[in-house]
Amino acid sequence: MTQTIMVVDDEKRLVSLVESYLNQAGYQVATAFNGREALEVAARENPDLIILDLMMPIMDGHEFIETYRRDHTTPIILLTARVEEEEHVIGLDLGADDYVTKPFRPRELMARVRAVLRRSGQIEPPAKMLKASGITLDRDSRTVKVDERYVDLTPSEFDLLAALMSAPGRVFSRLDLLDIIQGIRYEGYQRTIDLHVKNLRAKIELDPRSPHFIETVYGVGYRFVRE
């Protein structure tokens, strides 16, 4: 069964980025933008792990933990821009399991997610096979078939396709995709994503000039077309 991770932060850009990376890793994601909303979402979604910002409006991370921990033992990873040891200690004393200081590298956060899930006795998300529109992507063997024909992809092309296929219809910005395939942001090199998409289309599309699978959303980025 796919694990659900809830991401709670008032920075919508950061929530979108973390959600993209978690989706690509095979997790389901629920989101909230303040502690009060997070309590409602958590009651509905029953997440396996929560990634929680400390500084938020309406209800901050500390108050959320105090309230949530009365009835739940769900693992919590704190996101904090503060570097003072006291803040981290307070959060951990309230019942958080780990913390990551902003700014962070997405791959570091994913490593913390896997470690906390292991410590809590939860299994890793199963290797998932994505299927859509005649394309089969196997994360375990890192193979891709298009209409039963295997295609050879570079690691970046594979990760790019996996991210897009994990959320058909969702628009990924170039920065989102760059973070996913490189684990760190190089804003000056966003156009390298265009090159990766061009090469990927040449391998999976019947006519790369009129793509059927990967659609360009002009001024934003790319999305995998829903069936």
Q: Is-contact 53 61, C-beta < 8 A? A: yes
24 and 91 in a common domain: yes
Q: Hey, what are 173's tokens?
A: 């910005």
- Domain span including residue 22: 4-119
d(CA 5, CA 129): 20
Domain assignment present for residue 133? The answer is: yes
pLDDT confidence of residue 1:
59
Distance CA 145, CA 149 (A): 5
CATH classification at residue 180: 1.10.10.10
Is residue 52 domain-shared with residue 134, that is, in the same domain? Answer: no
Rounded (5°) CA angle 170-171-174: 140
| 124 in any annotated domain | no
3-state secondary structure the chain: CCCEEEEECCCHHHHHHHHHHHHHCCCEEEEECCHHHHHHHHHHHCCCEEEEECCCCCCCHHHHHHHHCCCCCCCEEEEECCCCHHHHHHHHHHCCCEEEECCCCHHHHHHHHHHHHHHCCCCCCCCCEEEECCEEEECCCCEEEECCEEECCCHHHHHHHHHHHHCCCCCEEHHHHHHHHHCCCCHHHCCHHHHHHHHHHHHHCCCCCCCCCEEEECCCEEEECCC
How far apart CA 156 and CA 78 sit, in angstroms, is 29
Q: Quick one: 107 and 166 in the same domain?
A: no
Domain match, 63 and 140 both: no
Which of 91, 119, 147 is the last residue before a domain boundary? 119
Distances (CA, A) of 38 to 46, 61, 63, 107, 144: 11, 10, 11, 24, 37
Q: Please give the Cα distance from 227 to 62 (Å, whole number).
A: 43
CATH of the domain at 91: 3.40.50.2300
Q: Mean pLDDT of successive 10-residue segments in the chain (227 residues)?
A: 89 90 87 95 94 89 90 88 63 78 81 82 64 88 91 87 88 79 52 85 91 91 88
Number of domains present in the structure of the chain: 2
Is residue 185 included in any domain, yes or no?
Answer: yes
Residues 147 and 58 in one domain: no
Of 189, 162, 17, 7, whose CA–CA distance to 104 is shortest?
17
| Whole-number pLDDT of residue 95 | 77
pLDDT at res. 141: 87
Place of tokens 């700014």: 103
Which of 84, 99, 119 is a domain's end point?
A: 119
